[in-house]
Structure 1
Amino acid sequence: MIPMSSLWPLYDLHLTTPRLELRPVQDQDLPAAVEAALAGIHPPGKSPFSTPWTEAPRDEIGANMARWHWKCRSEFTPEAWSLLFGIWHEGRFVGCQDVGARNFAALKTVTTGSWLTQSVQGRGLGAEMRAAVVLWAFDWLGADVAESEAAVWNSASLGVSRSLGYELNGITRKAWGTKVETLQHVRLTPETLKRPEWKLKVEGHEPAAKFLHVT
């Protein structure tokens, strides 16, 4: 039988930090992802997401999350991609970290977004998982820039950015669901990155890079 990794080589891409394992979410991981999300990500009415998916009725969140993961996979091309890493801490699924790009071959720019279940917030895991994907982007994919954004009130996300060396990159206003939020954009380069003391362990990079048309 043809192995799944030959059809979708990204499944063999694993990033390991001192406390975390990051690997692309597969269908068998979705129940654990839904459980982590339903356990709570943010206070009620204070969604940090541009699409307020956590505010849907609880019995709809699972199907909505599955649709989102399937959509990202079905629309994944080397020209426009979004890779959704599951985050495992002490053997438990605790969140997601995404990294994506459009026209990466020319722009060499990635964007990131993430969430963590509330029970593990405040331990520095958010910075560790974002450091993992930007290190992979810079050192393995050859990216020149990593960008992110957060609502101006989201001190946790902006604190992660600040700790890694992101620089402020302008403010915009956007519609987030029925609300209008003021967003702080941030920008990181290999030169401004405050590299962690630990080394990132990467497995399965070469097939993934070939799949992304990155050489």
Structure 2
Amino acid sequence: MPHSGTVEPVALTAPGLSLRPWRMTDAPVVLAAFADPAIARWNPQQVTDEAGAAQWLRRRTGADDSAISLAVTDAADGALLGAVSLHHLHGEDAQVGYWTTAAARGRGVATRAVTVLTGWGFDRLGLHRIELCHAVPNVASCRVAERAGYAAEGVLRESYRYGDGRRYDEHLHARLATDPPPAR
């Protein structure tokens, strides 16, 4: 049954990770994360002060039937490692997005978070297709897509304006509910 309504708050786990709903108390760590040039470059939502962090969190904690956004935290100590979301939820289709803090990069955090949220989207929301797009120069995101089982489908020319204000060609990857799970 395809997604057709409000997404209830959810908490998920992946090896070493907890994915939980955002809290307004996350504002200081969100502000610190967006101070990272890599996060700022690839995310169009600029968060430069406490008010901006609070606004960013309000958009992710409010009732919205077109998205689910989760904080990705260390399962042991609760430290914020990143974010993962399913957005543009329409019927059987969605898009996945994510970012990781500098301390979390190179540890498979994004891959594990994307993989578990993708499986949840297929199993619980009845999604059939989830797309993952990233700027072509963002090679790390291409590796996340591949490792999370998202097949490369093509290039979208100058399809999105990123946080640095430039439009980039994007790689389009996708997973179908009928695809085999990614290899571990």
Q: 1:70 aligns with which of 52, 58, 61?
A: 58
For residues 94-152 of structure 1, the C-alpha deviation after alignment (integer angstroms, 9 at most, x for no partner) is 21111123332xxx112111111111200111100001110100122221111110011
Q: 2:41 aligns with which of 18, 42, 47?
A: 47
Which is greater in Rg?
1
Query: For structure 2, which runs of at least 5 residues remain unmatched after alignment?
Result: 1-5
Residues 33 and 94 in structure 1, CA contact (< 8 A), matched pair in contact too: no
Q: 1:23 aligns with which of 13, 20, 23?
A: 20
Bigger RCO (CA 8 Å, 6+ sep): 1
- CA 1:62/1:193 → structure 2, altered by over 3 Å: closer, same or farther? farther
Alignment of 1:103 onto 2:70? no
- CA 1:171/1:62 → structure 2, altered by over 3 Å: closer, same or farther? farther
Could you tell me which residue of structure 2 aligns to residue 83 of structure 1? Answer: 68
Query: For structure 1, which runs of at least 5 residues remain unmatched after alignment?
Result: 1-7, 55-59, 198-215
Distance 2:37 2:176 in 1: 29
Could you tell me which residue of structure 2 aligns to residue 32 of structure 1? Answer: 29
Q: 1:183 aligns with which of 148, 160, 170?
A: 170
Q: Which amino acid aligns with 1:70?
A: R
Could you tell me which residue of structure 2 aligns to residue 136 of structure 1? Answer: 120
Q: Aligned-residue CA RMSD in angstroms?
A: 2.5
Q: Which amino acid aligns with 2:169?
A: T
Aligned-partner SS, 1:113:
strand
- CA 1:149/1:175 → structure 2, altered by over 3 Å: closer, same or farther? closer
Q: 1:119 aligns with which of 60, 81, 103?
A: 103
Residues 148 and 185 in structure 1, CA contact (< 8 A), matched pair in contact too: yes
Q: Which amino acid aligns with 1:186?
A: H
Task: State the shift of 1:72 in Å.
Answer: 4.4
Residues 169 and 187 in structure 1, CA contact (< 8 A), matched pair in contact too: yes
- CA 1:141/1:52 → structure 2, altered by over 3 Å: closer, same or farther? closer
For residues 19-72 of structure 1, the C-alpha deviation after alignment (integer angstroms, 9 at most, x for no partner) is 10001102122223323433x2628xx8222x1626xxxxx3432232123234
Runs of 4+ in structure 1 off by over 4 angstroms are 72-75
Provide the identity percentage: 20
Q: TM-score, normalised by structure 1?
A: 0.71
Distance 1:136 1:41 in 2: 31
- CA 1:41/1:139 → structure 2, altered by over 3 Å: closer, same or farther? farther
Aligned residues: 174
Distance 2:140 2:26 in 1: 26
Residues 166 and 192 in structure 1, CA contact (< 8 A), matched pair in contact too: no
Residues 100 and 112 in structure 1, CA contact (< 8 A), matched pair in contact too: yes
Aligned-partner SS, 1:29:
helix
Matches within 5 A, 1:141-156: 141-156=125-140
Q: Which amino acid aligns with 2:97?
A: G
Q: TM-score, normalised by structure 2?
A: 0.82
Could you tell me which residue of structure 2 aligns to residue 204 of structure 1? Answer: none
